[in-house]
Amino acid sequence: MKQSTLFLWVIFMACVSCSNRQDANLFEMAVNRALTYQMQEYPESTLKDIYKNFFQDKYGPGHLLNDTAAAGNYLRQELDSYTKITGPYFEPTGWEGNFYRVNLSVIKHGLVSYEDFFSAFVRSIQGITPMPVPEWKKEWECILEIVKKEYPDIPELEYDSKFISVLLDSGGYVVHHSENFENRYAPHYRIIEKSIFETEILPRLP
């Protein structure tokens, strides 16, 4: 984690109650940058899609890698399932940018081999200490407050907000993209840890 990111995290944890906006300015600015990108690139995002971006930044791809062999088979099947390629090669997750969403088009275009891509994907769970869900819930509530202030007209905002709250209260945290997002943007990507991506994959991209 870069020093600047660590500083932002310290600032956030000091004001996790969201009550002291002066002290939380850096956190709010970072969240707003992430939200601005999300809504400019994917204007039909729902709250579930926004939430997914931020939880991926905390938890990485771990929930997809409980069974490495199955994850590999699913990746190959997904690569074979589509021909139309959309979206940028990569984009950072959440407000800290601990991970990148890396488009499977880097494999489709022959820029990165399947073997190298899958190796980077699998190794992206190493060294991760998952945030306890109750702590993540507090952080998400701060993010949600900003979302509601900046984008109050997102469809089904309150419904999705309650859905996510119930999920977090039950100890879960994983949410899938909304059906609308899937249909509109056809996302095909995997989450890769920042340093692995920037060292091994980014130099191969145009």
pLDDT on residue 4: 44
Q: What is the C-alpha separation between 23 and 45, in angstroms, rounded?
A: 29
Mean pLDDT (the chain) is 89
Q: Summarize pLDDT for 74-101 with one digit per residue, the tens.
A: 999 999 999 998 999 999 999 999 999 9
* Contact (CB, 8 A) for 200 and 116: yes
pLDDT on residue 1: 42
Q: What average pLDDT does range 33-42 have in this prediction?
A: 97
pLDDT on residue 62: 74
Torsion of CA 24, 167, 5, 101, to 10 degrees: -130
Q: What average pLDDT does range 56-63 have in this prediction?
A: 88
Q: Summarize pLDDT for 149-159 with one digit per residue, the tens.
A: 999 999 999 99
Does the pLDDT at position 15 exceed 50? no
Instruction: Please tell me the pTM assigned to this model.
Output: 0.87
| 197 DSSP 8-state letter | I
